[in-house]
Structure 1
Amino acid sequence: MAPKKIIAICQSGGEFVTNKDDGSLEYIGGEAYALDLDEKTHLKDVKQELSETFRCGVNGMTIKYFLPGNKKTLITISKDKDLKRMINFFNDSDQVEIFIIAEEAGTRNVSNMPASRSSRTTASEALVLPVTPMDLMFADDQLVLEQVTDTSPLGTFPSSSNNEKHHKATSQWENNITGVDQRFNSFPEFREALHKYSIAHGFTYKYKKNDSHRVTVKCKSEGCPWRIYASRLATTQLICIKKMNGQHNCEGATAKAGYRATRGWVGNIIKEKLKVSPNYKPKDIANDIKREYGIQLNYSQAWRAKEIAREQLQGSYKEAYNQLPLFCQKIVETNPGSLATFATKEDSSFHHLFVSFNASILGFQRGCRPLIFLDSTLLYSKYQGTLLAATAADGNDDAFPVAFAVVDEETDENWHWFLQELKSAVSISRQITFISDFQKGIRQSLHDIFGKDCYHGFCLRYVAEKLNEDLRGQFSHEARRLMVQDLYAAAHAPKLEDFNRCAENIKAISPEAYNWVMQSEPDHWANAVFKGSRYNHMTSSFGQLFYDWVQEVSELPITQMVDVLRGKMMEMMYTRRVESSEWITKLTPMMEDKLQNETLKAQPLQVLLSHGGTFEVRGESLETVNIDRWDCSCKEWHLNGLPCSHAIAVFQWLGRSSYDYCLPCFTIESYCMTYAESINPIPNVENPETGEVQTSVIVTPPPSKRPPGRPKTKHADYYDSIKRQLQCSKCKGLGHNKKTCEKHNRIEIEAADPLLLPDLQAEEPQECST
């Protein structure tokens, strides 16, 4: 049977417009092209055909589409698997809309020149500007380009191709101001039109009057008659140009006055591109503005322009906090059964926000293991903060977000509050294993809130960091590496004797390190003595997928950040639900592979009946299997939740199915129940519907702001990140090298001239005696 084809309506050259009522996106303008797709279509072939059709480069092409029924979230197609997934999403439909975003080919790598208030460009830098060489001066709120004399030997001016590019970019603004009786909806609209008009015609201007009733503007060139006067049209809110003299006598304003570009203007220019590409980098902004308009920006100027554009698109960071009451209300209304609570401090400043969607709550209860990972990550928005998260592991060993919270700072109090809210979201009908670092706040809160209904496993990465920190400076790099290696081996060891052997290896290096390990409560981090079930997951950073999402949106205002995370969770649940519908095995793919690997290992094993449900299995080792207790002396069955090779050998000897002895959470049926519920979109709270009741609660931003400098990131697995410590190659001491080794230098001096040694000793400072 031939694969079903769908028609892709490929659109390019338009722009996305946001619907103010519901926040959905609509693509307007551009041209369209129809393309046939099926499951055998390759992405490279699609890009090649679109490149030829729309005359754009393949490398700079981005292809996006909307999920069915969701006009807020754009999904990117970057590989063949993404293309196939899109075709599966729209299998019941005859066509799909895709959007081609093509970057202009031939972007030049223009270096960002640091601009000071009085610095001037060199001749070679000036030559890339349009029409005439220009200087760059930066004021607090604007960039000013002024004429300079050409100092190049040949008097070379910018190439005509550059001039044409710049003229093409600004020609669209040449008729922004048409003359008397032209009307605008507001003064800001008039000022923006005037600003673009001045750039297109290459002159600067200054305000003679500029208030809420009237605006009078004249050319900045002395004696030039160009001027314009606009005021409010009587009995209306419209702004009308009443007088205008459009003639210049300054011999071509571009040759004499130059023009200026405010950060607000740059923000308006890049706003549409920032909407499509949120990770638009300041250096790329500077390069694009230089190429298209001939204006040189340095990094900080481009960064500030991006901040202005971002606030225009996303709204005020401050106002986002005040929208939290309505936002939480909308979450619960659109997703019944969800939890969305927030709290403020006495001064009404933001304290913390907790969110757990009903789909996550039911998914964890129905199909996930009773295992939750607790971790945190810094946010880099204007008011910073920290995100606390609780993630679980689904039946295919993928991360499943259960709940998260945004707090003003990571404190014991906020962790206690988060765990209290989490308890109301998750079922405690079964004992839950929590994995986190071993800070006192989490440990004590788990004991107070969950009591005996939970086990607490320490994150192995934090244990390794603590070992290194407490013993820092006492051991060489190689010794420390071996100790951490033995610590990891001890943690993963399934049997007590294996754990003890690894601990003895540490003792051989250092009895002090061995004592540290034995006093660090191994029953919280070592498999051999841990009482709960952590399924061989040793670190709290299991939900890396979720934390990657957070990093992508950590600079957004708080309500938008939460809504984007909701959209990503909604997409994840939909995608996994669709993918699992095609699975044909009894277990999920990951667990099916593990079970089959254990089945292969079981082939050469010999089974002997001991008594009742107990069996002896002989292979490289002698193990005892009790099928009634679902237990094997190798401990792998208990650690992983899947039968080990010894147990599978017994099932084959008895003629039983191994699938009957797997945990239910590993079956496809449970996996489908995990993703059976959906997360629904949330209305745009920035533009509430007419007549909608607003809460009287005021929420202001937290007092802390983002500190200067590059934000710190979390370490990778500490096993791989131990830094080499300085060690002397002569005396083998730590913290210095042979050049600064006092002992080695003393021996050399004594060997060269023993008479100098007393003089050196006399020069050394002596201890004062009392």
Structure 2
Amino acid sequence: MGTKKIIAICQSGGEFRTGDDGSLVYDGGEAYAVDVDHETRLDDLKQELAEMFQYSVDSMLIKYFLPGHRRTLISVSREKDLQRMVHFCEDSDQVEVFIVNGGMVAANAPEMSGSRSNMISISEAPVLPDTPLVTAQADDTIDIEMDMANQLNTDKTICLTKDEKNPTVAMQWQNTITGVNQRFSSFPEFRDALHKYSIAHGFTYKFKKNDSQRVSVVCKAEGCQWRIWASKVASTQLICIKKMVGIHTCEGTTLKAEHRAGRGWVGSIIKEKLKLSPNYKPRDIVADIEREYGVQLNYSQAWRAKGLAREQLHGSHKEAYSQLPFFCNKIIETNPGSVAKLTTKEDSSFHRLFVSFHASISGFERGCRPLIFLDSTPLNSKYQGVLLTATAADGDDGIFPVAFAIVDDETNDNWHYFILELRSAVSTSQQITFIANFQNGLKETLCEIYGGGCYHGYCLHYLAEKLNIDLKEPFSYEARRLMVQDLYAAATASKLDAFERCTESLKAISPEAYNWVIRSEPDHWANAFFAGSRYNHISSNFGQPFYGWLSDANELPITQIIDALRGKMMDLYYKRRVDSSQWETRLTPSMEEKLKSETAKAHSLQVSLLDAGTFEVRSESVDIVNVDHWDCSCKGWQITGLPCCHAIAVILGLGRDPYDFCSRYLTAESYHLTYSESISPVPNVEKPVTIESQEVEILVTPPPTRCPASRKKRKHGGSSDIIKRTLQCSNCKGLGHNKKTCRMAQEDNEEASEPVLLLTDVPREEELTDSFAV
């Protein structure tokens, strides 16, 4: 029988479910057939299965059911286990084998795991009169001789299982401590192995001695004899277990000791998950550790462990600040022409950092419209801070980062610093239009630094938010929505009469809102009055994708936040440079579509010559076009940079090409110039500070930590996100309260609870007569 082959149906990737009769059924996954016999070696079988399922040989577990018994899984971990499997299943000619990666099995499978009692129990098996109860230590080798199996009838099966107190993921740690003479390279390695061993076997321990020369450990349960002595091997760095009592004499209930959930151990466990999921939440860590290891954590333990794991993956937040001088030098060295300036306070703590790469500076100056969006967003890193950004729009209306800064707080002084550095880094002969709100002294700062060389367009999203907040009356949700809608319509109206119609509509809803709009300086936000060129952009949240890049880097050390942004910019510039090399149009794709749309409208328009260079164009309205000045009374040409349908009608009538009257910033050629330069990687971010050119070493410390009253994440949404529904009472239909706090309802309740009139309170007959007398 030794040479008889059995077909092993090997399955993995599915999950177990329990039938009504208590038997286990395996659903899903992949299945392969493998021949096995008594001559098959376990190592060879594991290697073949590892190649099939792409698993690691070291972490792979092999399990099977005994014939006719599908309630308990049997593990194959040694050569004798494999031989028994072949012997037990040779009469059926095939066996189902389940391959588990990393010790993980389905949550609803009754899997075997390490037992605190260190005993193996016989279950589901009648004990023969001449057969003693088989027991052994959990760490000892247990051999079931084949003649014992032969003594049993076919319907009597011995199933060796361990107490199922701990999750199966810890099974791989059962042999991290094997006994006397086991060696380790260091005490930390020994302590880590001991910690895992205790979790796998469900007990807790305490140190009697724990120094640089020896470690003595005992079970934490009172009176238990389990203990280990380990010490250094003379004249070496090796650690060796000298004595060990491996049998527990305590009762066997798993102790819940908090030291088992130390942040170092939890951090090492969750590190790989955190690498794949940077937003791994502490509450998920708590649930996963309890489910997989049987160790209970509280939220703060999980939070601290996450911080430690992040430091192990990405380095120390504190050390990152000390690396900033070196990092700034590396930016300039690897990207010549870039600007990277670090400012510290008098106590050498971090204050602010300005960064603008040469590719960004060159791209803006050579190919972008003179239009910059200023915005900010808070950081969630350990030492907090705020990211200030200056972004532009490329010829295809895509975001183009120009510069950014990380500052300790969003203050007037830090905004002044950022705009001053921006002015120094980016130069252009054109007047720049800025779109930003007017908080934090931005209005005064732009006027001071740029003087008359810039225009300041207020961010309309911020303006609408402020209108909604400043309105005192309890307007309904619908009324507030209509007011914001009218504000946006007034801002985008290109003519004065259209602007006035929108504001009059707003006045009909609320005179208060109308007065607020008139006092809000429409010359800074309404197309009918604004003197700058916004190219149809009215909100500073144009740079919203830039903040999306922070989602995976927001909690990283400061140097890695900067490098993550650099990497995103590098990839973006490269991708757009490659994609645009395939274009065959004169304009960028989005602008090409807009020009074609306007050209289609132009064919139905009537054009009349007024005088040299000036034309009247009739459609539903009458507009005046001056081709020489690139001007149309509808203002569409001036606002977008593309000729409107009225201008195109005139241009075509003159036999000219509309492409010759498009802004150069919207051409494919300018787009190529925008992305002609590349951003290079910045290597050795983690290298310590060594600046040869300076005699005194620069030491930058983190900014003081603080807990501000509110660090609400900045919303960068549209107008629909501004208005929240107002509370409306179901009793009186009033706004700003509910039925419970309604005054009218309270008055009704008071009337209903008035005392009953007594006989003495009823007026006499003569009094009634007097009261009704005429």
TM-score, with structure 1 as normaliser: 0.73
Q: Aligned AA for 1:182?
A: R
User: What is the Cα deviation at residue 130 of structure 1?
Assistant: 4.6
Distance in 2, matches of 1:713 and 1:106, equals 43
Q: CA contact under 8 A between 2:169 and 2:293: conserved in structure 1?
A: no
Q: CA contact under 8 A between 1:438 and 1:462: conserved in structure 2?
A: no
Aligned length: 620
Q: CA contact under 8 A between 1:180 and 1:241: conserved in structure 2?
A: no
Q: Structure 1 residue 348 and structure 2 residue 353: aligned?
A: no
Distance in 1, matches of 2:168 and 2:524, equals 69
Q: CA contact under 8 A between 1:499 and 1:528: conserved in structure 2?
A: yes
Distance in 1, matches of 2:577 and 2:193, equals 50
2:704 corresponds to: 703
Q: CA contact under 8 A between 2:615 and 2:626: conserved in structure 1?
A: yes
Distance in 2, matches of 1:225 and 1:132, equals 14
Where 2:542 maps in the other structure, the secondary structure is coil
User: What is the Cα deviation at residue 354 of structure 1?
Assistant: 0.9
Residue identity over aligned pairs, in percent, reads 60
1:241 corresponds to: 239
Distance in 2, matches of 1:570 and 1:662, equals 29
Of the structure 1 ranges 329-338 and 502-511, higher mean CA displacement relative to structure 2 is found in 502-511
Distance in 2, matches of 1:505 and 1:575, equals 46
Where 1:542 maps in the other structure, the secondary structure is helix
Of the structure 1 ranges 456-465 and 162-171, higher mean CA displacement relative to structure 2 is found in 162-171
2:143 corresponds to: none
Distance in 2, matches of 1:288 and 1:239, equals 36
1:83 corresponds to: none
1:229 corresponds to: 230
1:677-692 aligned within 5 A: 677-688=677-688
User: What is the Cα deviation at residue 736 of structure 1?
Assistant: 3.8
Q: Structure 1 residue 646 and structure 2 residue 643: aligned?
A: no
2:519 corresponds to: 519
Of the structure 1 ranges 196-205 and 580-589, higher mean CA displacement relative to structure 2 is found in 196-205
Q: Aligned AA for 1:209?
A: K
The 3 A distance-change label for structure 1 pair 529 and 132 is same
Q: Deviations over 1:672-715 (max 9, x none)?
A: 11111111111223235999788612211111345699854426
Where 2:541 maps in the other structure, the secondary structure is coil
User: What is the Cα deviation at residue 203 of structure 1?
Assistant: 4.2
1:467 corresponds to: 467
Distance in 1, matches of 2:281 and 2:739, equals 46
The 3 A distance-change label for structure 1 pair 273 and 162 is farther
1:74-223 aligned within 5 A: 130=113, 166-167=167-168, 169-171=170-172, 174-175=175-176, 179-180=180-181, 182-184=183-185, 186-221=186-221, 222-223=223-224
Distance in 2, matches of 1:350 and 1:411, equals 15
Q: Aligned AA for 1:564?
A: A
1:148 corresponds to: none
Where 1:406 maps in the other structure, the secondary structure is strand
Q: Aligned AA for 1:226?
A: R
User: What is the Cα deviation at residue 233 of structure 1?
Assistant: 5.2
1:539-558 aligned within 5 A: 539-558=539-558
1:361 corresponds to: 361
Distance in 2, matches of 1:307 and 1:217, equals 29
Which protein has the larger Cα radius of gyration, Structure 1 or Structure 2?
2
2:420 corresponds to: 420
User: What is the Cα deviation at residue 539 of structure 1?
Assistant: 0.7
Distance in 1, matches of 2:294 and 2:671, equals 56
Q: CA contact under 8 A between 1:129 and 1:295: conserved in structure 2?
A: no
User: What is the Cα deviation at residue 718 of structure 1?
Assistant: 4.2
User: What is the Cα deviation at residue 239 of structure 1?
Assistant: 2.9
Where 1:541 maps in the other structure, the secondary structure is helix
User: What is the Cα deviation at residue 459 of structure 1?
Assistant: 0.5
2:383 corresponds to: 383
Distance in 2, matches of 1:353 and 1:289, equals 39
Structure 2 unaligned blocks of 5 or more: 1-12, 14-50, 56-100, 118-159, 762-774
1:622 corresponds to: 622
The 3 A distance-change label for structure 1 pair 445 and 219 is same
The 3 A distance-change label for structure 1 pair 129 and 526 is farther
User: What is the Cα deviation at residue 525 of structure 1?
Assistant: 0.6
Where 2:656 maps in the other structure, the secondary structure is coil
The 3 A distance-change label for structure 1 pair 702 and 600 is same
Q: Structure 1 residue 480 and structure 2 residue 480: aligned?
A: yes
Distance in 2, matches of 1:226 and 1:747, equals 76
2:392 corresponds to: 392
The 3 A distance-change label for structure 1 pair 712 and 233 is farther
Where 1:587 maps in the other structure, the secondary structure is coil
User: What is the Cα deviation at residue 379 of structure 1?
Assistant: 0.7
Distance in 2, matches of 1:170 and 1:692, equals 53
1:78 corresponds to: none
Q: Aligned AA for 1:622?
A: V
Q: CA contact under 8 A between 2:328 and 2:340: conserved in structure 1?
A: yes
Q: CA contact under 8 A between 1:109 and 1:287: conserved in structure 2?
A: no
Of the structure 1 ranges 590-599 and 302-311, higher mean CA displacement relative to structure 2 is found in 302-311
Q: Aligned AA for 1:621?
A: S
Of the structure 1 ranges 297-306 and 627-636, higher mean CA displacement relative to structure 2 is found in 297-306
The 3 A distance-change label for structure 1 pair 197 and 437 is same
Q: CA contact under 8 A between 1:129 and 1:294: conserved in structure 2?
A: no
Q: Structure 1 residue 721 and structure 2 residue 722: aligned?
A: yes
Distance in 1, matches of 2:103 and 2:484, equals 51
The 3 A distance-change label for structure 1 pair 643 and 195 is same
Distance in 1, matches of 2:457 and 2:395, equals 20
Where 1:543 maps in the other structure, the secondary structure is helix
The 3 A distance-change label for structure 1 pair 381 and 641 is same
1:674 corresponds to: 674
Where 1:239 maps in the other structure, the secondary structure is coil
User: What is the Cα deviation at residue 462 of structure 1?
Assistant: 1.5
User: What is the Cα deviation at residue 504 of structure 1?
Assistant: 1.6
Q: Aligned AA for 2:723?
A: I
The 3 A distance-change label for structure 1 pair 291 and 738 is closer
The 3 A distance-change label for structure 1 pair 183 and 628 is same
Where 2:441 maps in the other structure, the secondary structure is helix
The 3 A distance-change label for structure 1 pair 278 and 616 is same
Q: CA contact under 8 A between 1:181 and 1:240: conserved in structure 2?
A: no
Q: Aligned AA for 1:210?
A: N
User: What is the Cα deviation at residue 308 of structure 1?
Assistant: 1.5
Distance in 1, matches of 2:102 and 2:172, equals 20
Q: Aligned AA for 1:698?
A: L
User: What is the Cα deviation at residue 178 of structure 1?
Assistant: 6.6
Q: CA contact under 8 A between 2:103 and 2:168: conserved in structure 1?
A: no
2:457 corresponds to: 457
The 3 A distance-change label for structure 1 pair 523 and 488 is same
Structure 1 unaligned blocks of 5 or more: 1-12, 14-51, 57-101, 111-126, 135-158, 760-770
Q: Aligned AA for 1:229?
A: A
Q: Aligned AA for 2:246?
A: H
Q: Deviations over 1:574-621 (max 9, x none)?
A: 111111112222111111111111111112112222222222212222
The 3 A distance-change label for structure 1 pair 692 and 275 is farther
The 3 A distance-change label for structure 1 pair 486 and 205 is same
User: What is the Cα deviation at residue 499 of structure 1?
Assistant: 0.6
